[in-house]
Amino acid sequence: MNQWLNACVATERAVTVIKATYFHKEKSKRIAKIIIAGLLIFMIGTSIYDPVYRRIIDEQNDDEKRTWCIVTYPRGVTVYNSIVQTFHFLAPFMINVVPAVILIATKSRRQTAVQTRRTYRELLQAQFQQHQYLFTGPVLLVILGLPRLIMSFVLKCMKSKNDAWYFSIDYFISFLPPMLTFVIFILPSKFYKREFHESLTIYLSRMKRHLQFNT
C-alpha cells in the first residue's frame, strides 16, 4: 500500500508542474481522498482470495504440539497470485518513474523559451541532475522490495524449524521501505533536505523559547 501511495505523490508532483498556476489544491485534496479509498478497495479486492485457501492444522510430534497456517492454492490461483505479486511490485515503480520523466521534460521545454542560448538537450541534462533524486527513491524501493518478491516465489512450505528464519526475514523486510522513507526521499533531495533543516530550526527555536518562558 505504501508503494502505491508513493506513486500517487509522484503523480501529483508531475501534475503540479504541468498545470502550474492552474493547479487547484482543494480539488487535489478531494481527489486524493477518493484515490486512497479506491486503492484500499483495490488492494483488498486483489488479495481477497488468500484467506479462502488458508487452513489451520494442529500437529503433534515428539511430545511437541504445533499449530500451522497452511496455504494451498490450486494451479490457476497460483498463477494469479504470482501475477498479482509482480503487478503490485512493478506498477508503483513504473508510476513513480513516468511522472518524474514527464516533470523533467516539461520543465526543460519551458526553460527553452527563457534560456535561448542553451539547447533542449543541455537543459534536459541539467534538469535531470537537479531532479535525479526523483529516480533514486523508486530505485531504492525496488531494491528493498526485490528480496521479498523473490521469497514470495521461492518459499512455499516450512519443512523445519530452520526455515522459520527465512519467513522471519521475509516478514521484517516488508517494514524496511516505510522505515527508510526519510533516507529514501528526503536525504537525496537538496530541496527537501533544506526544507527539513529549516523546519527543524524553527521547531527547536520555538521549543527553546517555550522552555525559557517556563523557567
| pLDDT tens per residue across span 111-155 | 887 887 888 888 888 888 888 878 887 888 888 888 777 777 776
The residues, any chain, with a CB within 8 Å of residue 56's CB and separated by 6 or more, are: 67, 68, 69, 70
pLDDT at 92 over 80: yes
- Among the listed residues 4, 8, 156, 186, the one whose alpha carbon sits nearest the alpha carbon of residue 82: 156
Question: What is the pLDDT confidence band of residue 37, given thresholds at 50, 70 and 90?
Answer: very high
Mean per-residue pLDDT over the chain, rounded = 80
Q: Comparing 35 with 161, which gets the higher pLDDT?
A: 35
List strand residue ranges (DSSP E) for the chain, in order. Answer: 54-61, 64-71
Residue given cell 487452513 in the structure block: 55
pTM, entire model: 0.68
| Share above pLDDT 70 across residues of the chain, in percent, rounded to a whole number | 90
pLDDT at 160: 54
Question: What is the pLDDT confidence band of residue 34, given thresholds at 50, 70 and 90?
Answer: very high
pLDDT at 170 over 80: no
pLDDT at 41 over 90: yes
Q: For 154, which DSSP code? A: H
pLDDT at 14 over 70: yes
Label the pairing between strands 54-61 and 64-71. Answer: antiparallel
Q: What is the biggest distance separating any 2 CA atoms in the chain, rounded to whole angstroms?
A: 82
Q: For 157, which DSSP code? A: -
Structural domain boundaries in the chain? 2-196
Q: What is the mean pLDDT of residues 196-209?
A: 88
pLDDT at 86 over 60: yes
Question: What is the pLDDT confidence band of residue 159, given thresholds at 50, 70 and 90?
Answer: low
Q: Comparing 36 with 156, which gets the higher pLDDT?
A: 36
The residues, any chain, with a CB within 8 Å of residue 190's CB and separated by 6 or more, are: 133
Distance of CA 184 to the CA centre of its chain: 10
Q: Do 147 and 171 meet the contact criterion of CB atoms below 8 Å apart? A: no
Poorest-pLDDT segment among 144-148, 156-160, 191-195: 156-160
Poorest-pLDDT segment among 89-98, 143-152, 166-175, 198-207: 166-175
Q: Do 14 and 96 meet the contact criterion of CB atoms below 8 Å apart? A: no
